[in-house]
Amino acid sequence: LQQRRGLRLSAPAAIQVTVRDALNQALDEELERDERVFLLGEEVAQYDGAYKISRGLWKKYGDKRVIDTPISEMGFAGIAVGAAMVWLRPVCEFMTFNFSMQAIDQVINSAAKTHYMSAGTIPVPIVFRGPNGASAGVAAQHSQCFAAWYGHCPGLKVVSPWSAEDAKGLLKASIRDDNPVVMLESELLYGVPFEMSEQAQSKEFVIPIGKAKIERQGTHVTLVSHSRPVGHCLEAATILSKEGVECEVINMRTIRPMDIETVEASVLKTNHLVTVEGGWPQFGVGAEICARIMEGSAFNYLDAPAVRVTGADVPMPYAKILEDNSIPQVKDIVFAVKKALNI
């Protein structure tokens, strides 16, 4: 009636959703959608998850769909891989990806390689997910980024969300994928609210694995990042904009397969490249991006060498002042951009 009277109807407003709630929503929707999906890991059931990602799911779906496991990553990861080989769709939660080292034989030798070694007859539709990278004050054995580790291995897909929409769309896509997927979340983003569009609130919303997103348009320099440092890049872009430097910020979202085409198209426009990541510099995600640009046609459009901003090449210190100096900060990104632009 309002439309017939010529009145404008406002579009449904986007809502604020934390990354934690977006992940919980994705798990809930996929458990409801497909009875083959189940979640297992330490404290995921009655306790609602160490980070409350699985809050309410055990009460809703019961013991057979949300399963608490002993503290034995090698054991429950192996159970999950075996279940995937007979066409169940397990979501295997590591309390932190540092603990996935206990199960890396299952992730790499069992999950990643089986489809190839079986001549395509045994797919392994499994998701390994949990917090990755630096947290706060948890020192060296709990603050590593495994994006480069798992991104190195053929047979895996590796995703690394930043926003709530990333988290929901990538988790749903990962659960539906017939390949093993490693989903690297950030503990420090779990409680951060992001705007979620009406489209992303749909039960059928997925983000294609292997597709980056341009978070901010720019003309002077391309900033490429994933996970929490994407936010730092946007902050740095705001600061630099006041000085007349317009940064194009690319959120990779997927580490493997890597959407290098989006990065190349941006470099063709800006002629400068800065990569930003929380992991160590040697053999890192930024190193791979720089190598791919070097080997492709976009190299001819660079007006200066690419610059990497990374975590420090040390085990993570415990002391806060040292920790802050071991993780890329906004000021480090601003400095790197000015270095790339020679200003």
Question: Alpha carbon 296 to chain centroid distance?
Answer: 25
Indicate which residues carry an active-site annotation.
73, 142
Cβ-Cβ contacts under 8 Å for 234 (sequence gap 6 or more): 215, 216, 249
Q: Which of 43, 29, 30, 37 is nearest to 96 (CA)?
A: 43
**C-alpha to C-alpha distance for 252 and 248, rounded to whole angstroms:** 13
What is the per-residue pLDDT across 98-128, written as a single tens digit (0 to 9) for each?
999 999 999 999 999 999 999 999 999 999 9
Decide which of 197, 232, 262 is a domain's last residue: 197
Retrieve residue 318's tokens: 């415990």
| Mean pLDDT score across all residues of the chain | 95
CATH (domain of 35): 3.40.50.970
Please tell me whether residues 230 and 324 are part of one structural domain: yes
Please tell me whether residues 189 and 237 are part of one structural domain: no
Question: Would 84 be classed as within a structural domain?
Answer: yes
What is the per-residue pLDDT across 247-290, written as a single tens digit (0 to 9) for each?
999 999 999 999 999 999 999 999 999 999 999 999 999 999 99
**C-alpha to C-alpha distance for 100 and 141, rounded to whole angstroms:** 12
Question: Would 299 be classed as within a structural domain?
Answer: yes
What is the pTM assigned to this prediction? 0.94
What is the per-residue pLDDT across 148-159, written as a single tens digit (0 to 9) for each?
999 999 999 999
Residue 208 burial (CB count, 10 A): 11
CATH (domain of 239): 3.40.50.920
Decide which of 162, 197, 232 is a domain's last residue: 197
Please tell me whether residues 120 and 244 are part of one structural domain: no
**C-alpha to C-alpha distance for 273 and 263, rounded to whole angstroms:** 9
Residue position matching structure tokens 């790197």:
336
**C-alpha to C-alpha distance for 335 and 308, rounded to whole angstroms:** 11
Question: Would 287 be classed as within a structural domain?
Answer: yes
What is the per-residue pLDDT across 191-239, written as a single tens digit (0 to 9) for each?
999 999 999 999 999 999 999 999 999 999 999 999 999 999 999 999 9
Beta bridge partners of 225: 251, 276
The domain containing residue 148 runs over which residues? 17-197
Retrieve residue 245's tokens: 């430097």
Please tell me whether residues 73 and 218 are part of one structural domain: no
